[in-house]
Structure 1
Amino acid sequence: MEGLYSFLILIDGFLGSAGWFPYVLLGVGLFFTIYLKFPQIRFFKHAWQVVTGKFDKESDPGDTTHFRALTTALSGTVGTGNISGVAFAIFLGGPAALFWMWVTAFLGMTTKFVEVTLSHKYRVKTEDGTMAGGPMYYMDRRLNMKWLAVAFAIATVVSSFGTGNLPQSNGIAQSIEATFGFEPWMVGSVLGILLALVILGGIQRIAAFTARVVPVMAVIYLIGALAVIFANIENIGPSFAAVISDAFTGSAAAGGFLGASLTYAFNRGVNRGLFSNEAGQGSAPIAHAAAKTKEPASEGMVSLLEPFIDTIIICTITGLVILSSGVWNEKHQNVFDRSDMLFVEGKYEENKQADVEKLFSYLNEIDLTAIEPYNGTITVVNGTAVSDGYTLLNSRSIAEDVTYSVGSEDLFTGTLTIEDGKPLKQNLEVSGKSLVHSAALTTIAFTRGFFGNFGQYIVSIGLMLFAFSTAIAWSYYGDRAMTYLLGPRSVMPYRVIYVAGFVWAAVSDTTLVWALSAVAIVIMTLPNLFGIVLLSKEMKETMNDYWSRTKK
């Protein structure tokens, strides 16, 4: 697994984590925002009118209403990205990362408007009578680029696992285990059965399920979040100030947080913003293709609400909970993932400026030679290391009160061999105090409000509903891609593998899952961005034609 993780990180270094990717993603959004004269502002009110059914006609072609198409697409985006993803972005880039998530969402409103409109325009009716759409259809039917359509469809299948399946299952299992103590394999198995029961019913059952669940889960989560925000109301102003000021300077070291450069915060904020709202990824157009309407642009306008709801509202609320509660730069007791651990040469301390500067350079990838991985042995007696000459970093922080165990109970005594910063002993469990990230960080933050420890249950329930509905929506995206590639008969085998992956991810390494999702997102996004730019003139004509008729 460590080898696979290293490979994924290497690939991601050329894709999502590369310096050019955020500029491509934001550049396309900025281009369309200016070219189409800020549609996310001009059509915002009209979008709400469409989604509430003002223009619905039962005779229009399609499988479901505007509202249900929106909730299905929202269920695909409102998931671990809003709970785990925001926490992960702040963990990596500090408060500044939230600002760049906002920017990604604002420009993403236009990008989503464009991709949904074009994809809806070229949707088709399949052999079984249902609608199928998505970027692969405009690539094939309009651009005559079958190769690009096939590449996108394959990437969609991969991304259905990397975005909608594996991270969601892993996030649920992690949160449920931390809160209720249930074993991850039990959680994965039970939810895997429920997942199978829903997705076998196709788009009608999926849309009906998400239309009921999405509003409920949003209300539950909002109540818990506001309980933390109002309990820490005096920190809201400073939190907003830190988000704005750090956006152009990077985030300085604070507490256990060793700091983030402007470049690093920008990159991680944009990357997590894309994971959260999926604007430009090409996933939402697949759900919106099922909407009953003859007007592609009207469905595109409905879709521009998604980044607003998903990122500007829900992610901001999560970010304020984490920042105002102060948990983001505190060290917490936790069991270390092997992928998060690194033994490095020398003794480093947070109260020494020179040490912090070296660690800052290394962790922000400014100078990867600033720190050397430790190679050697460590003597451990009754779970406590008695050797020196090294420092254990976990989750981008200096670990404290470290305990070594075999399993979860037996304290380890003996000699550990460390090679390239990693312990060779496979069944070793290392625990102690360090920064935490993902769902675990949000869970801790929710205990700092009026509900106290009960707040963790809100996160667990909210995460389960958010993530489970995301997995359901993405199963639909994947089966539409399989329908395009191999026909309707390929859907059932895909669904079986999809459910199996959902169960497996519950017991897999958190960091590995996030690495896979990072790669999957980008290999789906790039072909879609390329395609919509080629059709920019047609997009403008379609929008203007619709709006000129609607105004009358």
Structure 2
Amino acid sequence: MKSVTEIIGAVTEWIWGLPMILLLLCGGLFLTFRLGFFQIRYLPHILRQTFGKMFKKSDEPGSVTPFQAATSALASTVGAANIVGVPVAIILGGPGAVFWMWIVSFIGMATKYSEVVLGVKYRQKNAEGDWVGGPMYYIEKGLRWRFVAWLFAFGLMLEIAASTMVQTNSISTLVKNSFDVPLWATGIGVMAVVTLATYGGIRRIGQVTEKLVPLMVSIYLIGALLVLIYNAKHIPEAFALIFTHAFIPISAVGGFAGAGIAAAIRWGLARGIYSNEAGMGTAPIAHASAKTDHPAKQGMWGIFEVIVDTMIICTMTALIVLTSGTWKTLKAEQASSMVAEAFGQIFGPSLANMLLSIVLFLFVISTVIVIVYYGEKQAEYLFGTAFSKIMRLVYIGAIMVGAVGGLQFIWQFLDLLLALIVVPNLIAVLFLSGEVRAITRDYFTKLNRPRNKKAEEERQMIKEAQ
């Protein structure tokens, strides 16, 4: 008879296989069609409104700037999976997996945009005067599904506890292996940083993440760019491999076992879907606090997250793995070491490991800070602001427990709990997609109205002149 742990593991593996990929992919396709492929049609405008206005201040209603809200959400998205997950996708699906990662990311932009739009539309002020929102609010207020909203919030509140343990265990283990620091010492350090960062609520978190996220992303991208410059002659070959083997099987070479088209699609879709958390329901919690005058405008920052997380960071990881040749020299079980090997070509093994350890440390720290806030907001929705403060202490305590590797049986429930929050969130977004479409049309109608009015005046002047 199988143990409970084995049963949970089997169920979780099945859920997060084809069923979840199909749900998130089909949901994203539905939203993409319903919104008229706006993420492609209006991409230049979206880039101007996000990358072009990253440091612009705002006097609109909200608690943090749009950029601070985006970096807060991005902090929980960018993590070790950007460095480890992409090589795994390549080694199991071949270089063509990168192409399908790009495709599903464009589709996921519609999902994340829709979540953020709904998060802002249905947000409200809490007892402390801060703007709060997320799936639990738009599920209850938009669909009147109070029990489903409660289930989402309760599931995420518990999931954060398990996730906090897993994240801090990875960071304490990393620091011990790299710098021989005791697990408990790292736990105390992380507890101190997270306590200071979360004490001031979303405003303090926004101030931290707007500095920390650009810093950690820049460090990694600069290192990756140096690797690409070193292997510049192989860049055309890397792109050729990506586009060719998205549709043509690739044979075994070196440590690479070969992969068919189905494997390329499967692993590319999985990496694209899971890396940016589109459909997970967490991003709207951060974005609901943003200072903005229109939900659609903040929704574009959700697209910004997908671009940074998948189209930039994951793509850079893929390119350094392909151009450095590590995907051919290392075996499947060594996929997590591919980036370190690539960095080692120019920095040397010791410096490369130290650099990646620092980057991963920052990735995990930022993630823990933000997910603790997410957990607090679920507790606040369920039981009020006083209870949310108690849950903050619980999460901070979980940091130390996870750092030393305690209560590992709880970790088994992490992915299962995550599935229990993804499904109701995505279903709610699909049911509310008509509202998202109406909000999007309203935004672009108002955006184009001055232009249309000016054109009409010009036509009238020409008519009068004739």
TMscore range, shorter length: 0.7 to 0.9
- Indicate how the Cα distance of structure 1 residues 486 and 252 shifts in structure 2: closer, same or farther if over 3 A, else same: farther
Most deviating of 186-195 and 253-262: 253-262
2:342 to 445, 450, 461: 445
2:366 to 457, 469, 479: 469
1:236 aligns with 2:134: no
Say if 2:12 and 2:416, in contact at 8 Å, map to a contact too: yes
Report the alpha carbon displacement of residue 257 of structure 1 after superposing the two structures with TM.
3.9
Normalization by structure 1: what TM-score?
0.74
Match of 1:118 in 2: 118
Report the alpha carbon displacement of residue 278 of structure 1 after superposing the two structures with TM.
0.7
| Deviations, residues 203-247 of structure 1 (Å, cap 9, x unaligned) | 111000001111111211111111222222333333333333333
Say if 2:167 and 2:364, in contact at 8 Å, map to a contact too: yes
Report the alpha carbon displacement of residue 268 of structure 1 after superposing the two structures with TM.
3.6
Match of 1:180 in 2: 179
Say if 2:58 and 2:65, in contact at 8 Å, map to a contact too: no
Say if 1:184 and 1:506, in contact at 8 Å, map to a contact too: yes
Q: What percentage of aligned pairs have identical amino acids?
A: 37
- Supply the distance in 2 between the matched residues of 1:90 and 1:512 (Cα, whole angstroms): 31
- Supply the distance in 1 between the matched residues of 2:152 and 2:22 (Cα, whole angstroms): 21
Report the alpha carbon displacement of residue 91 of structure 1 after superposing the two structures with TM.
4.4
1:460 aligns with 2:357: yes
1:82 aligns with 2:82: yes
Say if 1:116 and 1:300, in contact at 8 Å, map to a contact too: yes
Say if 2:25 and 2:273, in contact at 8 Å, map to a contact too: no
Match of 2:390 in 1: 493
Over 6 Å off, 4+ runs: 511-515
- Indicate how the Cα distance of structure 1 residues 328 and 76 shifts in structure 2: closer, same or farther if over 3 A, else same: same
- Supply the distance in 1 between the matched residues of 2:383 and 2:37 (Cα, whole angstroms): 39
Match of 1:526 in 2: 423
**One-letter amino acid of the structure 2 residue matched with residue 300 of structure 1:** G
Report the alpha carbon displacement of residue 306 of structure 1 after superposing the two structures with TM.
0.7
- Indicate how the Cα distance of structure 1 residues 91 and 504 shifts in structure 2: closer, same or farther if over 3 A, else same: farther
1:256 aligns with 2:255: yes
- Indicate how the Cα distance of structure 1 residues 64 and 228 shifts in structure 2: closer, same or farther if over 3 A, else same: same
1:323 aligns with 2:322: yes
- Indicate how the Cα distance of structure 1 residues 257 and 5 shifts in structure 2: closer, same or farther if over 3 A, else same: farther
Q: Secondary structure at the match of 2:345?
A: coil
Say if 1:156 and 1:524, in contact at 8 Å, map to a contact too: yes
- Indicate how the Cα distance of structure 1 residues 162 and 86 shifts in structure 2: closer, same or farther if over 3 A, else same: farther
1:535 to 418, 432, 436: 432
Match of 2:13 in 1: 13
Match of 1:416 in 2: none
Match of 1:150 in 2: 150
1:45-444 equivalences in 2 (<5 Å):
45-51=44-50, 52=53, 57-58=58-59, 60-161=60-161, 165-249=164-248, 252-331=251-330, 435-438=333-336, 440-444=337-341
Report the alpha carbon displacement of residue 270 of structure 1 after superposing the two structures with TM.
2.9
Report the alpha carbon displacement of residue 69 of structure 1 after superposing the two structures with TM.
0.8
- Indicate how the Cα distance of structure 1 residues 49 and 320 shifts in structure 2: closer, same or farther if over 3 A, else same: closer
**One-letter amino acid of the structure 1 residue matched with residue 294 of structure 2:** E
- Supply the distance in 2 between the matched residues of 1:276 and 1:503 (Cα, whole angstroms): 26
- Indicate how the Cα distance of structure 1 residues 6 and 303 shifts in structure 2: closer, same or farther if over 3 A, else same: same
Most deviating of 233-242 and 480-489: 233-242
Q: Secondary structure at the match of 1:20?
A: helix
- Indicate how the Cα distance of structure 1 residues 47 and 170 shifts in structure 2: closer, same or farther if over 3 A, else same: farther
- Supply the distance in 2 between the matched residues of 1:195 and 1:298 (Cα, whole angstroms): 30
Report the alpha carbon displacement of residue 312 of structure 1 after superposing the two structures with TM.
0.6
Match of 1:420 in 2: none
- Supply the distance in 1 between the matched residues of 2:208 and 2:130 (Cα, whole angstroms): 18
1:34 aligns with 2:33: yes
Say if 2:340 and 2:349, in contact at 8 Å, map to a contact too: no
- Indicate how the Cα distance of structure 1 residues 513 and 330 shifts in structure 2: closer, same or farther if over 3 A, else same: farther
Report the alpha carbon displacement of residue 305 of structure 1 after superposing the two structures with TM.
1.0
- Supply the distance in 1 between the matched residues of 2:96 and 2:155 (Cα, whole angstroms): 30
Most deviating of 47-56 and 462-471: 47-56
Choose between structure 1 and 2 for higher RCO, CA contacts under 8 A separated by at least 6 residues. Answer: 2
**One-letter amino acid of the structure 2 residue matched with residue 455 of structure 1:** A
**One-letter amino acid of the structure 2 residue matched with residue 149 of structure 1:** A
Most deviating of 270-279 and 89-98: 89-98
The alignment covers a number of residue pairs equal to 445
Normalization by structure 2: what TM-score?
0.86
Q: Secondary structure at the match of 1:128?
A: coil
Report the alpha carbon displacement of residue 67 of structure 1 after superposing the two structures with TM.
1.2
Say if 1:153 and 1:481, in contact at 8 Å, map to a contact too: yes
**One-letter amino acid of the structure 2 residue matched with residue 550 of structure 1:** L
- Indicate how the Cα distance of structure 1 residues 54 and 148 shifts in structure 2: closer, same or farther if over 3 A, else same: same
Report the alpha carbon displacement of residue 252 of structure 1 after superposing the two structures with TM.
4.2
Match of 2:377 in 1: 480
Say if 2:341 and 2:349, in contact at 8 Å, map to a contact too: no
- Indicate how the Cα distance of structure 1 residues 190 and 143 shifts in structure 2: closer, same or farther if over 3 A, else same: same
Say if 2:281 and 2:422, in contact at 8 Å, map to a contact too: yes
Say if 1:282 and 1:524, in contact at 8 Å, map to a contact too: yes
- Supply the distance in 2 between the matched residues of 1:246 and 1:497 (Cα, whole angstroms): 48
- Indicate how the Cα distance of structure 1 residues 271 and 133 shifts in structure 2: closer, same or farther if over 3 A, else same: same
| Deviations, residues 106-152 of structure 1 (Å, cap 9, x unaligned) | 11111111111012100111111111100111110110001211122
Between structures 1 and 2, the one with greater strand share? 1
Q: Secondary structure at the match of 2:196?
A: helix
Say if 2:330 and 2:338, in contact at 8 Å, map to a contact too: no
**One-letter amino acid of the structure 2 residue matched with residue 297 of structure 1:** A
Between structures 1 and 2, the one with greater helix share? 2
Q: Secondary structure at the match of 1:304?
A: helix
Say if 2:62 and 2:292, in contact at 8 Å, map to a contact too: yes
- Indicate how the Cα distance of structure 1 residues 436 and 549 shifts in structure 2: closer, same or farther if over 3 A, else same: same
- Indicate how the Cα distance of structure 1 residues 273 and 53 shifts in structure 2: closer, same or farther if over 3 A, else same: closer
Say if 1:80 and 1:167, in contact at 8 Å, map to a contact too: no
Report the alpha carbon displacement of residue 96 of structure 1 after superposing the two structures with TM.
3.6
- Indicate how the Cα distance of structure 1 residues 456 and 503 shifts in structure 2: closer, same or farther if over 3 A, else same: same
Gaps of 5+ in 1: 333-395, 397-434
Report the alpha carbon displacement of residue 262 of structure 1 after superposing the two structures with TM.
4.2
Say if 1:229 and 1:449, in contact at 8 Å, map to a contact too: no
Say if 1:443 and 1:460, in contact at 8 Å, map to a contact too: no
Report the alpha carbon displacement of residue 4 of structure 1 after superposing the two structures with TM.
6.7
- Supply the distance in 1 between the matched residues of 2:251 and 2:162 (Cα, whole angstroms): 32
Say if 1:479 and 1:491, in contact at 8 Å, map to a contact too: yes
| Deviations, residues 425-450 of structure 1 (Å, cap 9, x unaligned) | xxxxxxxxxx3244x44333321235
Report the alpha carbon displacement of residue 458 of structure 1 after superposing the two structures with TM.
1.8
Q: Secondary structure at the match of 2:143?
A: coil
**One-letter amino acid of the structure 1 residue matched with residue 312 of structure 2:** I
